[in-house]
Copies of this chain bind each other. A is one copy, B any other.
Amino acid sequence: MGRTSDARERLIETAKTKFYASSYHALGVNEICRAAGVNKGSFYHFFETKRDLVLAVIDEHSCALQAWFDQTRASKGTLTEKVQRILSLCTQELQESQRDDQGVKGCPCGNLALELSTQDERVRLKLQEVFSRFEQGFEAMLRDAANAGEVIVDDPRKTARSLVAVLEGLMLMAKVQDDPTVLRQHESVVTGLLAGSERAMPNSN
């Protein structure tokens, strides 16, 4: 009975790992329960459906992302260094995802987005919310740098959205090529986006 108290957390943690390693449709409630060591009765106590579980998993990712952005925003360094730190965190996640017999697993939210966006409007809206949080994270860093006079950014929201799209594209390519270093190889695309802002600075000579 002692374990029941953390059954919800174990279900979320197990589903997170399992969805990431394979896909939403490839995985049934039975398999999740077995891997989590939770019986089906408990599952349905916490989640009405597998979809409710995936929504909870996405919430988990969202909180983890928020922490990355908060810590990085508060850290010392230039805008470019901060964005490079986010890229390093993503690369680390890709490298860690490789530590079984399967390959690089990409972005957990990107995977779910491409699998489910057209099939489940609630899941799509939840993922849109997460990506939007991701964008706000970059936007806050861009605004900080602009306020500090480090860069001039015409449209920080738009630049932030471009950054997220580029990052998701690179993580997709890392998965297809089974190579976690793709982000590092193409870092110049990201820094180029920021350099676009820097170039807009008035002449300082």
Residue numbers of A with Cβ under 8 A of B are 21-26, 102-106, 110-111, 113-119, 121, 124, 127-128, 131, 158, 161-162, 164-170, 172-173, 175-178, 182, 185-186, 188-189, 192-193, 196
> In the bound complex, do residue B175 and residue A169 qualify as a contact, i.e. CB atoms below 8 Å apart?
no
> In the bound complex, do residue B110 and residue A175 qualify as a contact, i.e. CB atoms below 8 Å apart?
no
Considering the chains assembled together, what is the distance between the CA atoms of A189 and B115 in angstroms? 25
A168-B173, A172-B169 known; A115 and B119 CB under 8 Å?
no
A162-B189, A196-B192 known; A22 and B118 CB under 8 Å?
yes
A117-B103, A118-B103, A189-B193 known; A172 and B178 CB under 8 Å?
no
Considering the chains assembled together, what is the distance between the CA atoms of A158 and B173 in angstroms? 13
Copies in the complex: 2
A22-B118, A23-B119 known; A172 and B113 CB under 8 Å?
yes
A119-B23, A169-B169 known; A124 and B103 CB under 8 Å?
yes
Contacts A23-B23, A117-B175 known; 19 new A-B pairs at CB < 8 A = A24-B25, A102-B118, A103-B117, A103-B124, A104-B118, A106-B114, A106-B117, A111-B114, A113-B172, A113-B175, A114-B115, A114-B172, A118-B175, A124-B178, A165-B166, A165-B170, A165-B172, A165-B182, A169-B170
9 A-B pairs closest in CB distance: A169-B169, A25-B25, A165-B169, A114-B114, A168-B169, A165-B173, A162-B189, A102-B118, A111-B114
Considering the chains assembled together, what is the distance between the CA atoms of A26 and B172 in angstroms? 21
> In the bound complex, do residue B103 and residue A176 qualify as a contact, i.e. CB atoms below 8 Å apart?
no
> In the bound complex, do residue A23 and residue B25 qualify as a contact, i.e. CB atoms below 8 Å apart?
yes
User: What is the distance, in angstroms, from A99's C-beta to the closest C-beta of chain B?
Assistant: 13
